[in-house]
Structure 1
Amino acid sequence: MFLSRTEFFIAKRYLWPGKGEGIIAVVVGFSLIGVMLGVAALVVVMSVMNGFRAELFDKTTALNGHAVVQGYDGKLADWQRIAAVAKATPGVVSAVPLIEQPLMASSEGRVEGVLVRGMRLEDIRNGTIGKSVTAGHIADVAPGSNNVAIGSQLAQQLGVGVGASISLISPQGQTTPFGTVPRIVSYRIAAIFEVGVYDYDKAFVVMPIADAQTLLMLGDAVGMIEVQTVDADRVGQILAPVAQAARGSGEVRDWKQLNSSLFEALAVERVTMFVVLSIIIIVAAFNILSSLIMLVRAKTRDIAILRTMGATRGSMLRIFMSVGLTIGLLGTVGGLILAAIFLYFRQGVVNAAQFVTGQNLWDPSIRFLSELPARVDAIDVIGTVVMTIVLSLLFTLYPALRAARTDPVQVLRYE
């Protein structure tokens, strides 16, 4: 929208209503603030939702892979053959054996349900677990050492620390004339880790895969094979040969199936939040409409005089559309700046709100993650900016047309 010097001067003058037009200035100010808050809220919420999904995806796939090949009875006896097929499949990055078994853990009279995970030594030390140790030494967790690593939340619930012992209770024990006697084995806690996902930190007991096979009496078998691929979105297509090779022994389950309810809920919530927060921008656009209608009514005499001096209807249309578009642009820029500041200090804002209210606003047992995540998506930001500008133009069109259609003869007849 190109303006002449005269049109630019008039539009600039109308952005700052004159003396006696304070109510117009207030409405214009509220319109600008409304647009700013709407843009900021939409960008912040969409970024937090994107960060929440991305953080969950990164952490879950780092621990569980893009897919797993699970044995039908919890035991994968011919895992070496299946792992070899997986490693030879194009698009597969890694295929490693894994054992996961829910058991009970007790210490000093406290009992908690746990998920015992047996992993290869290099996967423990070089993977997510080894990089998330908060206490102790992961190097002490070695085959035959009788040492384990546990999650931070589990350590808190059991009231244990590094050097303490926990007893793992397995229902697969010795058979006697009176029934099966549960197998109870004590282990020393050598390290405590915190991966940042509450469900993992409260349940995982990690040990070398050989110790897990001994505890669960699996022999040389494992529970599953964890597979990483080059493209998580094409995991089903990539692992089709692996699923064929595992037929009869187990099944392939990808990250979408393992966490389907969680990621589907996040997708629905993301769309819902976008629709709800877009209403704020629509309301702000209505404020622009009302402020420009008031401005046109207040400037009717000025418009008539400008028309008699040679201003065209196109000039009036451009002037008032420029006023509305400027309000939308200023509000959009202000909203983006406000969103950037909030996202940068987001965890500090959450901590301050918790301190003031005395409430735990980010309970990891509910939110899964221990900190508020955020990941800005350029497409979401561009979509928000485009939507705001388009709405500003659309809601500016009516008062601008009304100003352009002003009949100077009717207005100045009795002047």
Structure 2
Amino acid sequence: MITRYERMIASRYLLPGKGEGFIFLVAAISLIAVALGVAALITVMSVMNGFRAEMFDRILGLNGHAVVQGYGGRIEAWQPLAAKLKAMPGVTEVTPLIEQPLMGSYAGRVEGVIVRGMTVKDIANTRVIAQNVVAGDLKNLQPGTSTVAIGVRLAEALGARIGDEISLINPQGESTPFGTVPRIVAYRIVAVFEVGIFEYDKAFVVMPMQDAQVLLRLGDAVGMVEVVTNDPDNIGMIMAPIVPQVTGQAVVVDWKTSNSALFSALVVERTVMFWVLSIIILVAVFNILSSLIMLVRAKTRDIAILRTMGASRAALMRVFVTVGTIIGGLGIGLGIVLGFTLLYFRQNIIDGVSKLTGTDLWDPSVRYLSDLPAKTDPLEVVGIVLLALLLSFLATLYPAWKAASTDPVQVLRYE
């Protein structure tokens, strides 16, 4: 434990003495550097966590944890399959659906679309769609009324609004003496939604299951059965019993397989960013080291006097360890405040810089998500703080040892 007089000496050494302004400046730079390093780590790690969480929630909220997809895009006897899936341990939701890439046209504009057919009840229960309607009402989406809901980016690309009619073009149309004529059906837009993932908002067209079956000439068949479980991380084990039962008729694809490249890239990027930004703290720690070495040299005479007055080597080590740790601790505290401030105003900062530079810093077509997300993990923040404190403490050991090794006889002989 540090004694009262040791705390007093440490507090006096934190303030600049006569001719020690440069040392104080280096110490202040060290404090600011630690703060910037901690703030950068907290901000970047929170953004990376938020990005992964948002991607996970939105992608799996729309696609489920696994799908049983029929060969040729058809599952004829899907009702017995759905019943088997519902009875499996760990399965919480089973949703039959149709998903087919087609072409969408409006006012001479043509875009590639993905038509998704679901029951009206399932559409209402799909939170990423039902809770993100920006125009219109999903209640108007009824079977037999030739109505659809489309993504907001698709609506912008086509220039379509609520009440307009979009034409869906199915290349697998009717055979005629002149060849196959694509099937073109017009549907009225009754709702526009924004999932928040650019690729989905740019392509998805949602319609009642019966209308999709008529458009694609599927009869009573569906394209796939979507499965949601209570443990996405163990999806392979949960779905294992159904695999042999559907072999030859369908294939089971889970979220880890279909999105493995994306989530693996996020993990790698997150790890690399952590270690790269940790270098900022390491550089700041070297600044603390250099400022303490200069302080020891400047206080050589004071140290010798303290030694002659009875101060032990351990006491002097504690003094300089305390000085360096306080500098690091103040920098960490400032960094925490700065980091959470940046996180709170992150979208405002992005928008402001975009306006000043005239460039879109967060292009949803590149970043997938419409807004910059963030999710702070308290354990990560504690880990960052402990890492910065440990490095700050280690940086104080050598200067403190040099101070404790000062020979008062040699110093005061020439004074």
Band the TM-score falls in, shorter-chain normalisation: over 0.9
Contact 1:229 1:235 (8 Å CA) reproduced: yes
**Who is 1:79 aligned against?**
78
Distance in 2 (CA, whole Å) between partners of 1:344 and 1:244 is 50
The residue correspondences of 1:187-226 to structure 2 (distance < 5 A) are 187-226=187-226
**Who is 2:22 aligned against?**
23
Distance in 1 (CA, whole Å) between partners of 2:210 and 2:273 is 47
Distance in 1 (CA, whole Å) between partners of 2:268 and 2:88 is 34
Distance in 2 (CA, whole Å) between partners of 1:84 and 1:241 is 14
The residue correspondences of 1:41-80 to structure 2 (distance < 5 A) are 41-80=40-79
Distance in 2 (CA, whole Å) between partners of 1:358 and 1:9 is 54
The residue correspondences of 1:314-353 to structure 2 (distance < 5 A) are 314-353=314-353
**Which residues of structure 2 form unaligned runs of 5+?**
none
Contact 1:39 1:384 (8 Å CA) reproduced: yes
Contact 1:68 1:225 (8 Å CA) reproduced: yes
Task: Give the secondary-structure state (helix, strand or coil) at the position aligned to 2:183.
Answer: strand
The amino acid that maps onto 1:333 is G
Deviation at 1:275, TM superposition (A): 1.1
Distance in 2 (CA, whole Å) between partners of 1:19 and 1:86 is 79
Distance in 2 (CA, whole Å) between partners of 1:246 and 1:336 is 53
Deviation at 1:241, TM superposition (A): 1.3
Deviation at 1:302, TM superposition (A): 0.4
Are 2:81 and 1:92 equivalent residues in the alignment? no
**Who is 2:370 aligned against?**
370
Contact 1:82 1:245 (8 Å CA) reproduced: no
Distance in 2 (CA, whole Å) between partners of 1:50 and 1:271 is 11
Are 2:366 and 1:388 equivalent residues in the alignment? no
**Who is 2:254 aligned against?**
254
Contact 1:98 1:119 (8 Å CA) reproduced: yes
Are 2:3 and 1:4 equivalent residues in the alignment? yes
* TM-score for the superposition, normalised by structure 1: 0.98
**Who is 1:244 aligned against?**
244
**Who is 2:183 aligned against?**
183
Distance in 1 (CA, whole Å) between partners of 2:249 and 2:279 is 53
Deviation at 1:217, TM superposition (A): 0.5
1:109-168: per-residue Cα shift (whole Å, max 9, x none)?
A: 100000000011012123221221111111111100101000000000001100111111
Distance in 2 (CA, whole Å) between partners of 1:279 and 1:131 is 42
Greater CA deviation, 46-55 or 249-258?
A: 249-258
Task: Give the secondary-structure state (helix, strand or coil) at the position aligned to 1:90.
Answer: coil
Contact 1:44 1:339 (8 Å CA) reproduced: yes
Number of aligned residue pairs: give it: 414
Distance in 1 (CA, whole Å) between partners of 2:80 and 2:396 is 68
Distance in 2 (CA, whole Å) between partners of 1:297 and 1:72 is 78
* TM-score for the superposition, normalised by structure 2: 0.98
Task: Give the secondary-structure state (helix, strand or coil) at the position aligned to 1:182.
Answer: strand
Distance in 2 (CA, whole Å) between partners of 1:123 and 1:352 is 40
Distance in 2 (CA, whole Å) between partners of 1:246 and 1:59 is 28
Distance in 2 (CA, whole Å) between partners of 1:79 and 1:246 is 11
Distance in 2 (CA, whole Å) between partners of 1:126 and 1:92 is 16
Deviation at 1:74, TM superposition (A): 1.2
Greater CA deviation, 76-85 or 300-309?
A: 76-85
The amino acid that maps onto 2:41 is L
Task: Give the secondary-structure state (helix, strand or coil) at the position aligned to 1:202.
Answer: helix
Task: Give the secondary-structure state (helix, strand or coil) at the position aligned to 2:72.
Answer: coil
Distance in 2 (CA, whole Å) between partners of 1:78 and 1:263 is 34
Distance in 1 (CA, whole Å) between partners of 2:168 and 2:147 is 12
**Who is 2:152 aligned against?**
152
Deviation at 1:306, TM superposition (A): 0.3
Distance in 1 (CA, whole Å) between partners of 2:245 and 2:56 is 27
Distance in 2 (CA, whole Å) between partners of 1:336 and 1:56 is 26
Distance in 2 (CA, whole Å) between partners of 1:14 and 1:378 is 34
The amino acid that maps onto 1:373 is P
Runs of 4+ in 1 over 6 A off after TM superposition: none
Distance in 1 (CA, whole Å) between partners of 2:120 and 2:242 is 25
1:205-235: per-residue Cα shift (whole Å, max 9, x none)?
A: 0000110011000111111111100011001
Greater CA deviation, 157-166 or 128-137?
A: 128-137
Deviation at 1:89, TM superposition (A): 0.4
Task: Give the secondary-structure state (helix, strand or coil) at the position aligned to 2:206.
Answer: strand
Are 2:350 and 1:354 equivalent residues in the alignment? no
